[in-house]
A and B are shown apart, each in its own frame.
Chain A
Amino acid sequence: AQSVSQHNHHVILSEAASLELGCNYSYGGTVNLFWYVQYPGQHLQLLLKYFSGDPLVKGIKGFEAEFIKSKFSFNLRKPSVQWSDTAEYFCAVNAGTGRRALTFGSGTRLQVQP
């Protein structure tokens, strides 16, 4: 069975600080990896995804993530956060073949202070 761990439950940063949110998954086969964001009062939006190829993927709003297969990790990064990045961030995974439903991490609440 797949599992996803997000180690940072609540992160508080000042504007312009750099961000890195950790995500580790447990699954022996090929995986697809996703980061979703949920802004206050809004629905889930896809930030970025990794299916194959270049392990460094770029998403919307200046976010990027790096897939490190040997570490089973897919950490999310942003060089300089803004107040508008305040949201809940979820890492998710599904099997590259077979089970298509997503397994989500517990989420990280990011609070950016102006």
Chain B
Amino acid sequence: SAVISQKPSRDICQRGTSLTIQCQVDSQVTMMFWYRQQPGQSLTLIATANQGSEATYESGFVIDKFPISRPNLTFSTLTVSNLSPEDSSIYLCSVEAPNNEQFFGPGTRLTVL
């Protein structure tokens, strides 16, 4: 299994600012994913982040709002830019292990005032 940590675990931000979330994995993985879980809802994929290439965004999510970095096989960041209250969510990163299982980080709970 893969052990995933995320920083910060939670944050409260002002409207118009940005938050960068870090995701660290204890092993090298090819596929990393960023999801959003809005209050009381299921998980929605934001983007797929592969090392050495640009992230692939899902419909409704754009790079200007959610820039992603993937500098190596164990680390990725997601920035949520120009925050609005509608961005209040839990943001999760996940990885696919070689056995095709997917593991999730603990999430970052973002509240935008």
Q: Which residues of A contact B (CB under 8 A)?
A: 32, 34, 36, 43-44, 46, 49, 51, 90, 94, 100-107
B: number of interface residues (CB 8 Å): 19
Residues of B within 8 A of A104 (CB): 42-44
Residue of A nearest to B48 (CB): A101
Q: At the interface, is chain B mostly helix, strand, loop or mixed?
A: strand
Residues of B within 8 A of A101 (CB): 33, 45, 48
Residue of B nearest to A44 (CB): B104
Would A43 and B106 be within 8 Å (CB), given that A32-B100, A100-B31 are in contact?
yes
Residues of A within 8 A of B102 (CB): 34, 46, 94, 102
Q: Can you report 27 A-B residue pairs in the complex whose CB atoms are below 8 A from each other?
A: A32-B100, A34-B102, A36-B104, A43-B92, A43-B104, A43-B105, A43-B107, A44-B43, A44-B104, A46-B102, A46-B103, A49-B100, A49-B101, A90-B42, A100-B31, A100-B48, A100-B96, A101-B48, A102-B43, A102-B45, A102-B94, A102-B102, A104-B42, A104-B43, A104-B44, A105-B42, A106-B41
